[in-house]
Structure 1
Amino acid sequence: MRKPYVPLLSLLSCLSFLLFLTSAAPARAADNGSWSVYPVSSAVAARPYFYVFADPGRTIQDKVVVANKTDGPLTFRLYAADAYNTARDGGFAVKSPGEKMRGVGAWAVLPKDRVTVPGRATVTVPFTVRVPRGAEPGDHPGAIVALDERVDKGGAGVALGVQRAVGARVYLQVGGPALPGLAVEDVQVVHHQPLVPGLGDSTATISYTLHNTGNVTLAPKVELKASGLFGRTLLTRDLKKLPSQLLPGQRVRLTERWTGAPQFDRAHVRLTATAKGTEESAKASFLAVPWLPVALVVAGTATGVWLLMGRRRTRTEGARGTARPAPTDPYQEVGRAAGG
Structure 2
Amino acid sequence: MRKPYVLLLPLLLFLTLATPARAADNGSWSVYPVSSAVAARPYFYVSADPGQTIEDKVVVANKTDEPLTFRLYAADAYNTARDGGFAVKSLGEKMRGVGAWAELAKDRVTVPGGAAVTVPFSVRVPAGAEPGDHPGAIVALDERVEQGDGGVALGVQRAVGARVLLQVGGPTLPALAVENVEISHDQPLIPGFGDSTATISYTLHNTGNVTLAPKVELKATGLFGRTLLTRDLKKLPSQLLPGQRVRLTERWRDAPHLDRTDVRLTATAQNTKESATASFVAVPWLVVGVVAAAIAAGVRLAIGRRRRLAGPSRPGERGTARAALTDPPTKTGRRAGA
Task: Pick one of 246, 271, 277 that aligns with 1:283.
Answer: 277
User: Is residue 121 from structure 1 mapped to residue 111 from structure 2 by the alignment?
Assistant: no
- SS, match of residue 257 in structure 1: strand
How many residues align? The count is 325
Task: Tell me if the contact between 1:27 and 1:46 (Cα under 8 Å) persists in the aligned partners.
Answer: no
Q: Where does the alignment leave 5 or more consecutive residues of structure 2 unmatched?
A: 331-338
Match of 1:7 in 2: 7
Partner Cα separation in structure 1 for residue 207 and residue 44 of structure 2: 24
- SS, match of residue 267 in structure 2: strand
Match of 2:209 in 1: 215
Task: Pick one of 231, 241, 246 that aligns with 1:237.
Answer: 231
Match of 2:184 in 1: 190
Task: Pick one of 309, 315, 334 that aligns with 1:323.
Answer: 315
Residue type at the aligned position of 2:238: S
Partner Cα separation in structure 2 for residue 142 and residue 118 of structure 1: 27
Residue type at the aligned position of 2:269: A
With the length of structure 1 as denominator, give the TM-score of the two structures: 0.89
Q: Where does the alignment leave 5 or more consecutive residues of structure 1 unmatched?
A: 328-332
Match of 1:302 in 2: 296
Provide closer, same or farther for how the CA distance between residues 323 and 42 of structure 1 changes in structure 2, counting only shifts above 3 A.
Answer: same
User: Is residue 258 from structure 1 mapped to residue 256 from structure 2 by the alignment?
Assistant: no
Match of 2:334 in 1: none
Partner Cα separation in structure 1 for residue 16 and residue 155 of structure 2: 24
C-alpha distance after superposition, 1:249-303 (max 9, x if no partner):
0011111111121111111111100001100001111111222211111222233
- SS, match of residue 114 in structure 2: coil
Kindly name which structure, 1 or 2, has the bigger radius of gyration based on alpha carbons.
Answer: 2
Task: Pick one of 21, 46, 52 that aligns with 1:58.
Answer: 52
Partner Cα separation in structure 2 for residue 185 and residue 290 of structure 1: 29
Residue type at the aligned position of 1:251: R
Task: Pick one of 214, 220, 228 that aligns with 1:226.
Answer: 220
C-alpha distance after superposition, 1:39-72 (max 9, x if no partner):
0000111000000000000000000000011111
Task: Tell me if the contact between 1:58 and 1:131 (Cα under 8 Å) persists in the aligned partners.
Answer: yes
- 1:31-70 aligned at under 5 Å gives the runs 31-70=25-64
Deviation at 1:98, TM superposition (A): 1.4
Q: Percent identity?
A: 78
Deviation at 1:304, TM superposition (A): 3.4
Provide closer, same or farther for how the CA distance between residues 173 and 315 of structure 1 changes in structure 2, counting only shifts above 3 A.
Answer: same
Match of 2:72 in 1: 78
Match of 1:151 in 2: 145
Deviation at 1:326, TM superposition (A): 9.9
- SS, match of residue 294 in structure 1: helix
Deviation at 1:310, TM superposition (A): 6.4
Task: Tell me if the contact between 2:19 and 2:40 (Cα under 8 Å) persists in the aligned partners.
Answer: no
User: Is residue 167 from structure 1 mapped to residue 140 from structure 2 by the alignment?
Assistant: no
Deviation at 1:219, TM superposition (A): 0.4
Provide closer, same or farther for how the CA distance between residues 131 and 137 of structure 1 changes in structure 2, counting only shifts above 3 A.
Answer: same
Provide closer, same or farther for how the CA distance between residues 146 and 298 of structure 1 changes in structure 2, counting only shifts above 3 A.
Answer: same
